[in-house]
Amino acid sequence: MAVCVAVIAKENYPLYIRSTPTENELKFHYMVHTSLDVVDEKISAMGKALVDQRELYLGLLYPTEDYKVYGYVTNSKVKFVMVVDSSNTALRDNEIRSMFRKLHNSYTDVMCNPFYNPGDRIQSRAFDNMVTSMMIQVC
Amino acid sequence: MEGLTLSDAEQKYYSDLFSYCDIESTKKVVVNGRVLELFRAAQLPNDVVLQIMELCGATRLGYFGRSQFYIALKLVAVAQSGFPLRVESINTVKDLPLPRFVASKNEQESRHAASYSSDSENQGSYSGVIPPPPGRGQVKKGSVTHDTVQPRTSADAQEPASPVVSPQQSPPTSPHTWRKHSRHPSGGNSERPLAGSGPFWSPFGEAQSGSAGGDAVWSGHSPPPPQENWVSFADTPPTSTLLTMHPASVQDQTTVRTVASATTAIEIRRQSSSYDDPWKITDEQRQYYVNQFKTIQPDLNGFIPGSAAKEFFTKSKLPILELSHIWELSDFDKDGALTLDEFCAAFHLVVARKNGYDLPEKLPESLMPKLIDLEDSADVGDQPGEVGYSGSPAEAPPSKSPSMPSLNQTWPELNQSSEQWETFSERSSSSQTLTQFDSNIAPADPDTAIVHPVPIRMTPSKIHMQEMELKRTGSDHTNPTSPLLVKPSDLSEENKINSSVKFASGNTVADGYSSSDSFTSDPEQIGSNVTRQRSHSGTSPDTAAPPPPPPRPQPSHSRSSSLDMNRTFAVTTGQQQTGVVAHPPAVPPRPQPSQAPGPTVHRPVDADGLMTHTSTSPQQIPEQPNFADFSQFEVFAASNVNEEQDDEAEKHPEVLPVEKASDPASSLRVAKTDSKTEEKTAATAPANVSKGTTPLAPPPKPVRRRLKSEDELRPEVDEHTQKTGVLAAVLASQPSIPRSVGKDKKAIQASIRRNKETNTVLARLNSELQQQLKDVLEERISLEVQLEQLRPFSHL
């Protein structure tokens, strides 16, 4: 259901970004990039005291006429950004949450791999498969 | 190319060599480098080599296919035999000895070659002789190498025995091995030349190195039996490459036994891909993996942390990406650490990859942790342990894999937990029944009202009240002296009295109480009455009652009445507290709807009478207006009992008016009689009585309660009213007591003690009653809610 999935590192560079090939990927890349501002804004709005209680799921970052962008931040400031098609009205918030959860779990598995250096691009096949399963519904 | 006819021996030999050269495990093309080395090892002049290559067509094709390779080998043999290199000579030269490839020991090679050539059958026998390292018996050579491999696995560098290159050659391979050994160190880098020596070498090499690395590799191969090789030209036991690898690996292993050697082992493994099931781990392989695991983690049940595993596998020189993928596949539980099974799976994948197998997308079943456990449980002694243990350091391999063993382990836990849950529910249900105990408690226990801690409130109180009354009456008869007389002697019997009070039949109690005229009497009086009554009612079961150490606050005497009685008695009359004690629970105002009205009517009157005597403020003894009559008692236990006797307090207000009754005694008696009729409360009375609580009757309370209480409350109210009635009666009787008893300080003190105990009992009763009240109120609320819910529907 996701049209584009991106994993952004703490320093705001992408660790993984993948879109459905049908669209102009550059557009998605740009959208993800601009969403980072919104993510930062949401994080800072929480306040420092609430860091522990801060919910990981940020929710809808901003909607466009065609797409909706959802955000999710981990405690290590790794951001997941997901772009979904607005026409997909059946997508509920819970589903988005579950998708982020799966992303987070897969990301954790990638991190557990000793051969993965944090900061590298994510090239895990398992991660790819998981993202594909999330995106495949759209295609 | 011309057709090439090879003898069996040649076939075998050539296939082995081909496997050796087939580094990439392509089974089709041999690496040129290898071939060249091989040719170099043949000790042929370069031009001859070139000629051979040209002849076999490799130069034309650019690669060494199997046919080309075989032809080349044949040509080498031809050349070595001194025959001119001709294409035709391939087939024309008969009895051509096998090409010899010299690595170091030409003699041995030649010998081997000779043996090979001469003994095609021996070869077969070799394979037979050579304990087939699991299945890998490729060619005789393979088997031979296996032998050598085995020594390696044993980590014994020098096991010449195994190399057994050929049984025929009893000439000790050992010398060869030794020489090999010597050579190895020196030829640490000369893998290639050694390898070039061909299969012969491998056995030796392995024997020499004895390092386990190669063993597993070779053993890992499960190629078809050597005979198959002979049969099919096309079939190339892929494992043959292993053999060629041996030397190399051997050398490495000899030099480096540590983890570093694993790299060579890995290379060896490269060729050890399983034949039948590419992902199946053979025993030798497994053994090797286990050994390697030990080098990193001595504890086979332990884990290899990710970092260590990373270092280890990095030595295999696979690209990080592939290693990362292998890790993803093998780390089954995603914990960042490798157990033995995971490690073996990873190792096996590395080996396979090195051999050219593509990594699967999913972990093959044979590599699944659980399967490995089950399969190899017999192989490695440690494995059974692995299979067996449920929770190794942090996770047991069985648990790691979604295997049955782990499931089996978890199920019991789940079952247990479910059982626990069940027990919880049971407990909760049982707790609900607690409240019912009160009503169920049989009075039967004279000795100590204590026996029924919670329950016996109401009834005992009644009984106590009755007893108190009886005693009072008794005391009245004997008045001034009797109490005194009785008391000293009965100090110890006070408890008995209490118990007797409990059990005293209603009649006796009534009599006793009736005898006491002054309800306003101090608890002391009552106590004396009680004592007297005790003497009177020796027959009553109470006598059997032991002199319960007053201290037993008759837990059952939660009935406020009983407590109140004690308290009031204690307060009002320090003297006759004993008697008071007898009365205790006069009244756990257990609402008894049917009986409540009657008795309550009386009781309130009695209570009032009592109250007046005690003149206790309603606040102090809220529940037991009767208590108010016993101001003396108040002083004592009011503070203690008040709080606990809220329930009774409610009733007592009703009793307060009773205080005014002029004839509290009579009212008490009446109340007592009424209470008597109410067996249930009577049952609880004894318990209360034993406490020695003054039979403080919360007269008003019961009435009020009945009025306001729901049906559910009624029984309680009734009980309470009864209690109060009893208590009131007792209280009424008590006031009269103190006068006569005032003299005996000891008695007073004893009575005080008892009263205190009674107070506590009554306090408990009170609390319990309150609890019941709450419960009943809750029920009421729930019912009301249901009713409201139903109402709207009724209209529909």
A92 pLDDT higher than 70: yes
Task: Please report whether residue A66 resides in a domain.
Answer: yes
Closest CA to B288 of B350, B353, B215: B215
Tell me the average pLDDT across B681-696. 44
Best mutation target among A111, A112, A115 (most B Cβ atoms within 10 Å) is: A115
Indicate the residue type of A3.
Answer: V
Q: By mean pLDDT, which of B18-22, B474-478, B787-791 is the weakest?
A: B474-478
| Sign, CA torsion A34/A39/A42/A46 | negative
Task: Please report whether residue A139 resides in a domain.
Answer: no
CA angle B120, B123, B125 (to 5 degrees): 115
Q: Are strands B337-338 and A2-8 parallel, antiparallel or unpaired?
A: unpaired
Burial degree of A102 (CB within 10 A; 0-12, 13-18, 19+): middle
pLDDT digit string (tens) for B433-445?
444 444 444 445 4
Which of the listed ranges B76-80, B343-347, B629-633 does the model predict with the highest average pLDDT? B343-347
* pLDDT interval class at B781 (50, 70, 90): very high
Chain A CB contacts of B325 below 8 Å: 124-125
Say which DSSP state B760 is in: H
Count CA atoms within 13 Å of residue B723 on its CB side: 60
Tell me the average pLDDT across B767-791. 92
Domain map (residue ranges) of chain B:
8-107, 277-355
Q: Is residue A68 helix, strand or coil?
A: strand
3-state helix vs strand vs coil in chain A, percent to 5: 40, 25, 35
The token pair that represents B719 in the structure block: 């009980």
Closest CA to B37 of B201, B225, B159: B201
Closest CA to B63 of B98, B36, B86: B36
Domain B8-107: CATH superfamily is EF-hand (1.10.238.10)
pLDDT at residue B762, as a whole number: 94
Closest CA to B309 of B287, B330, B278: B330
Contact check, Cβ <8 Å, B320/A115: yes
- For chains A and B, CB pairs below 8 A equal 38
Give the whole-angstrom CA distance, residue B380 versus residue B337. 21
pLDDT at residue A2, as a whole number: 79
Distance from CA of residue B71 to its chain's centroid?
68
B116 pLDDT higher than 90: no
Q: Is residue B153 helix, strand or coil?
A: helix
B43-82 burial, b if ≥16 CB within 10 A, otherwise e?
bbeeebbebbbebbbbeeeebbbbbbbbbbbbbbbbbbee
* pLDDT interval class at B363 (50, 70, 90): confident
Distance of residue A63 Cα from the nearest chain B Cα, in angstroms:
36
pLDDT at residue B765, as a whole number: 95
Q: Is residue B622 helix, strand or coil?
A: coil
What residues of chain A, 90 to 109, have a C-beta less than 8 Å from chain B?
108-109
pLDDT at residue B421, as a whole number: 45
CB B605 within 8 A of CB B669: no
Those residues with Cβ within 8 angstroms of residue B572's Cβ, 6 or more apart along the chain or in another chain: B522, B523, B524, B613, B614, B616, B629, B630, B631, B632, B633, B634, B635, B694, B731, B734, B735, B738
pLDDT digit string (tens) for B335-359?
888 888 888 888 888 888 888 877 7
Q: Which residues of B touch A (CB under 8 A)?
A: 305-307, 309-310, 313, 320-321, 323-325, 327-328, 331, 334-336, 361
CB B141 within 8 A of CB B16: yes
The token pair that represents B101 in the structure block: 């490839």
pLDDT at residue B758, as a whole number: 94
pLDDT digit string (tens) for B372-415?
444 444 444 444 334 334 334 444 444 344 444 444 444 444 44
Closest CA to B213 of B174, B257, B165, B163: B257
* pLDDT interval class at B62 (50, 70, 90): low
* pLDDT interval class at B178 (50, 70, 90): very low
Tell me the average pLDDT across A47-54. 59
* pLDDT interval class at B111 (50, 70, 90): very low
pLDDT digit string (tens) for B297-326?
888 788 888 888 888 888 888 888 888 888
pLDDT at residue A67, as a whole number: 84
Tell me the average pLDDT across B649-677. 45
Tally of structural domains, chain A: 1
Closest CA to B141 of B127, B152, B131: B127
pLDDT digit string (tens) for B2-51?
456 667 777 777 778 777 776 665 555 555 666 677 777 777 777 877 77
Closest CA to B340 of B379, B378, B394, B286: B286
Tell me the average pLDDT across A42-53. 67
Give the whole-angstrom CA distance, residue B648 versus residue B639. 14
Count CA atoms within 13 Å of residue B715 on its CB side: 14
Contact check, Cβ <8 Å, A125/B361: yes
Q: Which domain holds residue A68?
A: 2-134
Contact check, Cβ <8 Å, B334/A125: no
| Stronger pLDDT, B513 or A106, i.e. the higher one | A106
A115: closest chain B residue by CA: B324
* Mean pLDDT for chain B overall: 55
* pLDDT interval class at B96 (50, 70, 90): low
pLDDT at residue B661, as a whole number: 42
Tell me the average pLDDT across B758-774. 94
Task: Please report whether residue A104 resides in a domain.
Answer: yes
| Stronger pLDDT, A5 or B372, i.e. the higher one | A5
Give the domain CATH number at A81: 3.30.450.70
Contact check, Cβ <8 Å, B334/A109: yes
pLDDT digit string (tens) for B126-163?
333 434 444 343 444 434 444 444 434 443 434 444 44
Strand partners for A60: A70
pLDDT digit string (tens) for B712-737?
444 444 555 555 555 555 555 554 45
B365 pLDDT higher than 50: yes
A127: closest chain B residue by CA: B328
Q: At what angle do helices B458-478 and B481-490 cross, to 10 degrees?
A: 130
Minimal Cβ distance to A115: which of B324, B334, B361: B324
pLDDT at residue B380, as a whole number: 42
CB B207 within 8 A of CB B152: yes
| Stronger pLDDT, B459 or B394, i.e. the higher one | B459
Any B CB within 8 A of A57 CB: no
CATH of domain B277-355: 1.10.238.10
Those residues with Cβ within 8 angstroms of residue B433's Cβ, 6 or more apart along the chain or in another chain: none
The enclosing H or E element of A3 equals: strand A2-8
